[in-house]
């Protein structure tokens, strides 16, 4: 089965589980930059391979540099999993994530204090505001989704950096 078909099936299941919520959208971002509502998807092949074994490879632009450094500095203790990598691979991934982080090039992040080091995209202020506690709780209790961290279960274009629903 192709990936596209698989995710289309998955989305149909999600749509059924969340009837009412409009989650269908274009499967791909308009361009590599992600366009409007889009977030630049992972372009580094090592990251694509190594960071998608257990969940989708999250776009680097969704967390600040200090978060990626903290995550990449403690991979043996990664949300209850051991995601350790050999040093050259680990370093390549960290360098890519940091170079493409939300605050790379001096950009600032809204609603985040300088001393906060979030380890989850799903705990950022904009994220919880956008999704709401009810949806987050429903994602967790739905066995077909498992957790709000499973972006691609609801956002069909997530792996291409596309999260908007219309």
Residues contributing to the site for ligand HEC (CB under 6 A): 21, 23, 37, 50-51, 53-55, 58, 62, 71, 78-79, 81, 83, 93, 120-122, 130-131, 135, 139, 145, 147-151, 153-155, 163-165
Taking the complex as a whole, the smallest distance from the CB of residue 141 to ligand HEC amounts, in Å, to 11
Task: Round to whole Å and give the CA distance between 68 and 61.
Answer: 10
Which residues are CB-neighbours of 149 under 8 A, at least 6 positions away?
55, 120, 121, 122
Closest to ligand HEC by CB, 1 vs 79, is 79
Judged by CB, which is closer to ligand HEC: 112, or 139?
139
Residue among 103 and 165 whose Cβ is closer to ligand HEC: 165
Helix extents (H) in 60-164:
65-72, 87-99, 125-141, 151-154
CB of 43 to ligand HEC, least distance (A): 14
Q: How many CA atoms lie within 13 A of 4 on its CB side?
A: 4
CA torsion sign for 51, 54, 57, 58 is negative
> What residues contact 72, with CB distance under 8 A and at least 6 apart?
90, 93, 94, 97
Tell me the closest approach of the beta carbon of residue 1 to ligand HEC, in angstroms. Answer: 22
Residue with tokens 């908007």: 164
- Closest CB to ligand HEC among 29 and 139? 139
Smallest gap from residue 54 Cβ to ligand HEC (A): 3
Q: How far is the CB of 103 from ligand HEC (least distance, A)?
A: 15
Q: With respect to ligand HEC, which residue has the nearer C-beta, 50 or 103?
A: 50
């Amino acid at each position: 089965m192709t990936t596209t078909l698989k995710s289309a099936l998955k989305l149909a299941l999600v749509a059924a589980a969340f009837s009412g919520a409009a989650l269908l959208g274009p499967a791909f971002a308009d361009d590599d930059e992600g366009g409007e509502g889009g977030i630049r998807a992972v372009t580094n092949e090592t990251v694509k391979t190594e960071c998608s074994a257990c969940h989708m490879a999250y776009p680097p632009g969704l967390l600040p540099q200090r978060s990626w450094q903290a995550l990449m500095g403690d991979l043996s203790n990664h949300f209850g999993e051991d995601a350790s990598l050999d040093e050259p691979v680990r370093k390549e991934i960290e360098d890519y994530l940091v170079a493409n982080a939300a605050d790379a090039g001096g950009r600032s992040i809204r609603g985040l204090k300088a001393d906060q080091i979030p380890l989850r995209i799903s705990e950022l202020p904009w994220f919880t505001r956008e999704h709401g506690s009810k949806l987050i709780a429903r994602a967790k209790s739905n066995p077909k989704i498992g957790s709000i961290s499973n972006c691609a279960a609801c956002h069909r274009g997530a792996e291409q950096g596309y999260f908007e629903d219309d």
